Structure 1
Amino acid sequence: MEQVLQHVAQTVEKQLDNELEKLDAMDSNDLEAIRRQRIEEMKKRAKLKQEWLANGHGEYTEIDGEKEFFGVCNKSENVVCHFYRSDTPRCRIVDMHLQTLAKKHVETRFIKLDVERAPFLTGRLKIRVLPTIGLVKDKKTKDFIVGFTDLGNCDDFTTEVLEWRIARAEVIEYSGDLLVPPAEARRQRALTVHAKKTIREKQDSDSDLDFSD
């Protein structure tokens, strides 16, 4: 176990060293070019954000029916749609989480649609279990989150678990590990920190040894 932890810590440190070497090798012209590129990226991002907000992003809203659903998908590249029914308690749990995520991920449109208002669409998408979350990218349905099976199969799942599951369909921007659930990712980070601390303590201990006669 100790060898595994040391290997993980050494790998992380090597990656950091490589990045620092790249920075050290840059001259003032390289840094200025990076700065200008970053400014341009920030301007483009700000413009995109304005367009997103104008199209209803940043809020979790209910739409009236199938026609509006297709209209939303035509205007927004990324769409998260909660197919619900008002008499289904678990749908209210999804509402709570999506309200939070809509504010965080303005790059994506978050909506909800009562299945009773969209019989053709729900039949076409073969929606049988509620709640179902449809994940749409570039006008195509990429994935569905059906019930809570993918969320730990419990009602008290966290917002970050739902965020991670949505991110796996690439309809929101996500900086974490798509292959590892958030709780497991935190555990791995803790192991890495522990490994680095153990290595430092061992090095400090070795440096205190007295080899004099």
Structure 2
Amino acid sequence: MDTLIQQKVIEVANQVEKQLDAELEKLDNLDIDDIEKLREKRLRDMKKLQQQKQTWLSLGHGEYTEIPDEKEFFEVSKKSKNIVCLFYKDDSPRCKIADMHLKILAKKHVEARFCKLNVERCPFLTERLRIKIIPTIALISDSKTKDYIVGFTDLGNCDDFSTEMLEWRIAQSGAITYNGDLMHPPEVTKKSRISQVPKGKTIRGKDSDDSDEDLN
């Protein structure tokens, strides 16, 4: 068995080496015209990306803003492909924690629209999206809700999670571009613990253990 495993490892290593050799040979065979074409393509891609960023900024990307009502939310969802939206209540300490991190991420990830909605002012949308626990972050793409971050359970079940942890979790939905390892969460430098800040509440105001609870 060990011999078979060694053979497989050698075969894979040989394949990787051949692929690398092929890529190096391509680079060696590039002439000045080829290099210039690659440079021009790179410049076109950079220009296109810059134009796209300007479009995103004109639509309110790059800032973390409040959506005043449901009508405005539907207008936003028509214009922005990716939306990261916090459903919150004013008296929730955990919503304020989420606010802090989302403000930072909004400036870093202009490819998505970061916003928040007060559940008490948007009962129809809250019901339609089946928001039962606050804070809940809805991750929307092409006007469809792809994922939810309910409470802080997915963030280490603690209130002192890092911005990088929330960034990683949002990226799992595809709502933002992520350069790290999606298979593994970023290292948490702080000791995971449950702080004394009250846990998430249901929209009706009852204490919750961050598990879904029916409003009825």
TM-score (normalizing by structure 2): 0.75
Q: Following the alignment from structure 2 to structure 1, what is the Cα–Cα distance between the partners of residues 67 and 120? A: 12
Partner of 1:206: none
What displacement does 1:27 show? 2.4
Q: 1:124 aligns with which of 125, 128, 139?
A: 128
Matched, 1:65 2:79: no
Partner of 1:108: 112
Q: 2:82 aligns with which of 78, 85, 89?
A: 78
Compared with structure 1, are the counterparts of its residues 182 and 20 closer, same or farther at alpha carbon in structure 2 (3 Å cutoff)? farther
Output one character per residue of 1:47-88: Cα deviation in whole Å (capped at 9) or x when no partner.
111111111010000010111111111010110000000100
1:14-25 equivalences under 5 Å are 20-25=24-29
The residue matched to 2:120 in structure 1 has which SS? helix
What displacement does 1:15 show? 10
Partner of 1:51: 55
Superposed structure 1 runs of 4+ greater than 4 Å apart: 13-22
Partner of 1:202: none
Q: Following the alignment from structure 2 to structure 1, what is the Cα–Cα distance between the partners of residues 163 and 104? A: 8
Q: 2:100 aligns with which of 76, 80, 96?
A: 96
The residue matched to 2:133 in structure 1 has which SS? coil
Q: Following the alignment from structure 1 to structure 2, what is the Cα–Cα distance between the partners of residues 169 and 65? A: 25
What displacement does 1:125 show? 1.0
More helix by share: 1
1:1-213 equivalences under 5 Å are 20-183=24-187
Q: Following the alignment from structure 2 to structure 1, what is the Cα–Cα distance between the partners of residues 158 and 24? A: 44
The residue matched to 1:126 in structure 2 has which SS? coil
Q: Following the alignment from structure 1 to structure 2, what is the Cα–Cα distance between the partners of residues 92 and 98? A: 10
Compute the RMSD of aligned alpha carbons: 2.2
The residue matched to 2:187 in structure 1 has which SS? helix
Compared with structure 1, are the counterparts of its residues 93 and 41 closer, same or farther at alpha carbon in structure 2 (3 Å cutoff)? same
Consecutive unaligned residues of structure 1, counting only runs of 5 or more, are 1-6, 185-213
Consecutive unaligned residues of structure 2, counting only runs of 5 or more, are 1-8, 189-216
Amino acid at match of 1:141: T
Alignment: residue pair count = 175
Q: Following the alignment from structure 1 to structure 2, what is the Cα–Cα distance between the partners of residues 153 and 117? A: 28
Amino acid at match of 1:129: I
Q: Following the alignment from structure 2 to structure 1, what is the Cα–Cα distance between the partners of residues 58 and 175? A: 19
Compared with structure 1, are the counterparts of its residues 152 and 28 closer, same or farther at alpha carbon in structure 2 (3 Å cutoff)? same
The residue matched to 2:147 in structure 1 has which SS? strand
Q: Following the alignment from structure 1 to structure 2, what is the Cα–Cα distance between the partners of residues 66 and 121? A: 7
Output one character per residue of 1:104-135: Cα deviation in whole Å (capped at 9) or x when no partner.
00111000100001101111111111000000
Q: Following the alignment from structure 1 to structure 2, what is the Cα–Cα distance between the partners of residues 99 and 21? A: 46
Percent identity for Structure 1 against Structure 2: 61
TM-score (normalizing by structure 1): 0.76
